[in-house]
Amino acid sequence: MDRTERFYKIDQYLSESRSVSFPELQERLEVSRATLTRDLAYMRDRLNAPIVFDRELGGYRFDRSAPKTGGQYELPGLWFSAQEIHALLTMQHLLAQLDRGGLLGGHIQPLQARLAALLGSADDTALDVARRIRIETVGAREYQLGHFQAVGSALLRRKRLLIDYHARGNDSVTRREISPQRLVHYRDNWYLDAWCHLRDGLRAFSVDAILRVETLEKRAREVSPRALDEQLGSSYGIFRNKAAHHAVLVFSAERARWVRNERWHPQQKGRNLSDGRYELTLPYADDRELIMDILRYGADCSVVSPPELVERVRGEVARLARLYAPE
């Protein structure tokens, strides 16, 4: 960890304990004796930290009784890692999107305030951070807040739902009794994994495609997390089902510089080819979303196997060619 992060750790340890010995601090921070000595001296002399050594307790502590003279003790701004800042800003974004109708303001506001406090620091306020870092959503579909609330409530209360569901694939509407299992946020949209009593099996439902919802006073059928992962969590993308195929894709040397750092699937495998190209292997069950990602790269992505996926991509390319052929 860097020096600024060590300052925060020292501040945390001294705030949580009556005193902390030098060896204990050294062990927790995993630094040398000389480094810790310099850190403590810097915090006292430059940051005005009221750190004292208590001989009776045999360790360091904050002197809360010291008169507040001179500069005020203040830690330098602590920046987050890329993963941490993305997680915090994503949480803020999700909360804002969830409360589009303003119905949950009283419940969400304390959490939003807490996130703002985490994002802010001595040098950068939460407003500055939000102004200078932005998370954009692409392809997010509108859903009814009331439906989302009913789904979430039934999910936690373990109640069944009666829904009218619009299956966009065949443009049909069916009434289904379902047992909610978990909500999934994927590519800026919400999906509900549930046991469908009409189809007698696990299904993933787009929350935005629920046209009507009614909570039933029936106990939801329980499905184990392992079964959920096996049936809905192991294949590619939102069309989740038990993976039955493995796609082998090869990207041009130019596009490989991007793709080798992309995460298409938790179980993907990649390797660099001798000519600079990149080979990516990943499991999938339904090829629709996978084909959309393949076409996004155009001629820079070639499908090696399986043969049926090769033919499906060829068919889509031919269909596009006919669509844009000159009159």
Q: Which fold has domain 245-323?
A: Alpha-Beta Plaits (3.30.70)
User: Shortest CA distance to 214 belongs to which of 175, 184, 174?
Assistant: 175
pLDDT digits (tens, 9 = 90+) for 231-287: 876 666 655 667 779 999 999 999 999 999 888 888 899 999 999 999 999 998 888
**Rounded to whole angstroms, how far apart are CA atoms 245 and 265?**
13
The answer to whether 181 and 193 are in contact (CB under 8 A) is yes
pLDDT band at 123 (very low <50, low <70, confident <90, very high): very low
In the chain, list all ranges with CATH 2.30.30.
Answer: 145-230
pLDDT for the residue 311: 96
The answer to whether 5 and 78 are in contact (CB under 8 A) is yes
Q: Which fold has domain 145-230?
A: SH3 type barrels. (2.30.30)
DSSP state of 278: E
What does the radius of gyration of the chain's CA atoms come to, in whole angstroms?
27
The answer to whether 285 and 267 are in contact (CB under 8 A) is no
Q: Is the pLDDT of residue 152 over 90?
A: no
Q: How much is the average pLDDT of 198-204?
A: 92
In the chain, list all ranges with CATH 1.10.10.10.
Answer: 3-62
In the chain, list all ranges with CATH 3.30.70.
Answer: 245-323
Which of 7-16, 240-249, 270-279, 310-319 is predicted least confidently? 240-249
pLDDT for the residue 41: 92
pLDDT band at 47 (very low <50, low <70, confident <90, very high): confident
pLDDT digits (tens, 9 = 90+) for 52-73: 999 999 999 998 776 655 557 7
The answer to whether 32 and 61 are in contact (CB under 8 A) is no
pLDDT for the residue 300: 95
CATH class, 3-62 region = mainly alpha
Structure tokens at 78: 């602590």
Using CA atoms of 99, 104, 108, 109 in order, give the dihedral in degrees to the nearest 10: 100
Q: Is the pLDDT of residue 26 over 50?
A: yes
